[in-house]
Amino acid sequence: MSERRKITLPAGKPASTDADPRRKPLRPNAPVKRNRVRTAEDSAPRPERAPQPERGTPGDATRARQDARAVPTPRQAPEDGRVRLSKLMSEQGLSSRREADDWIEQGWVSVDGEVVTELGTRVWPHQQITIDPMAHAQQAQRVTILLHKPIGYVSGQAEDGYEPAVVLVRPENRWEGDTAPWQFTRGHLNKLAPAGRLDIDSTGLLVLTQDGRIARHLIGEDALVEKEYLVRVQSMAQPEAENVSAVVPEEAMEQLRYGLWLDGKPLKPAKVSWQNEQQLRFVLREGKKRQIRRMCELVGLKVVGLKRVRMGQVVLGKLPQGQWRYLRPDERF
C-alpha cells in the first residue's frame, strides 16, 4: 500500500467538501438550499391570472391629472323644479332672455314683491313676476324695420366680402310711402338684428328688430309663424321646358308638401302649389338653412329665383327693392 500524505491546511480556513478548489466557500449564516419533495399539489395546473391593465408612463399620469384640473366641473342645476328667472320671463312672453338680464341688472324685475338684481337667480314657476314700468317704456322705444333685401347682401354679419343688409337702413333709403310716426335716428341702428335669414341669392322681406320679443316670436324654437315665398324653378331633367308645371309629377309635389328629410330630421308639413307655369308658392313654418333650395333639389328642381313676400300677417306689399320702412304700431306678425 502507498503511504498517505498528510495535508496541512492554512489556519482559519475550513475544509471544503467540494473537490473543485475554485468553488467559493459559503457565506456565514447563508441559507442552505435543500431539495424539496414534490407533491400532488405541485403537479396540479395553476389557475390563470387575470390580465393586468397596461401601465402607462409616469408622464401619462401627470398629464391625466393636468387634464382633470383643466376641464371645469359643470355646475349642476337644482333638481327641485326651479328655473332661471330670465328663462321664465322669456317663456311667459315678458321679454327676451337678453332683455330680461338687462332688466334684472337695472333692478326693474320683482318676484313676489321683492326686487331681484342678481343674474342667474332661480325661481319657482308659480311665483309672481312684476316688471317696472320703466322697462316697458324702454321696450316701447325699440323699433322694427322691414327691408326689401336685394340680391348680393347677407342677412347678418358681413362675410366673404359681402355687405350686411343693415347698411341699406339709411335716411335716403326710407320708403316715401312709410306712414309710421317715427323720425329716423342713429339710435335705431343700435342692436338692430335680423329675425330670420334670407340667402344672399334671395330677395324679399327681411325683418330687422331691436325687440327681443318679436325675434323670439318669429324665429324661436317654438315659433309657428308662416313665411311665404315665391320660387321660380327649372326642371333638372328637362331644363329647356318652358311649362315646368307640366313636367313635374304630382308625386314630387306631394313630397314637397310632406315627406322630405333634411339634416337627418323630417321636415314639418308645408303648403306648396303652382303660382304659374314656372313659379311655386311655398308657405313654411320653419327656416332651415337654404331649405327651399335643398327641398327642390331632392325632387329634381333647380331654384333660379326666390323671393319672400310675407311673414305672419305682415306682407312685403309695394315696398321697393333696396328700401325700408318701420313696422307700424297697428301691425302684428
Q: Which three cell numbers stand for residue 253?
A: 309635389
Spatial distance between the Cα atoms of 297 and 312, rounded to a whole number of angstroms = 26
Nearest partner of 282 among 316, 257, 265, judged by Cα: 257
Q: Which three cell numbers stand for residue 44?
A: 396540479
167 φ/ψ angles, rounded to the nearest 5 degrees: -65, -15
B/e letters for 78-97, b = 16+ CB within 10 Å, e = fewer, are eeeeeebbbebbbeeebbbe
Q: Which three cell numbers stand for residue 70?
A: 383643466
Amino acid, res. 8: T
Spatial distance between the Cα atoms of 134 and 230, rounded to a whole number of angstroms = 42
Three-class SS state of 24: coil
Nearest partner of 272 among 262, 289, 285, judged by Cα: 285
Query: 295, 267 in Cβ contact below 8 A?
Result: yes
No. of helices (H) and no. of strands (E), the chain: 9, 16
Instruction: Enumerate the β-bridge partners of residue 122.
Output: 84
Q: What is the CA radius of gyration of the chain?
A: 41
Q: Which residues are catalytic?
A: 199
Query: 229, 292 in Cβ contact below 8 A?
Result: yes
Spatial distance between the Cα atoms of 329 and 333, rounded to a whole number of angstroms = 11
CA dihedral angle for residue 66, residue 67, residue 72, residue 74, rounded to 10 degrees: -140
| DSSP symbol at 187 | G
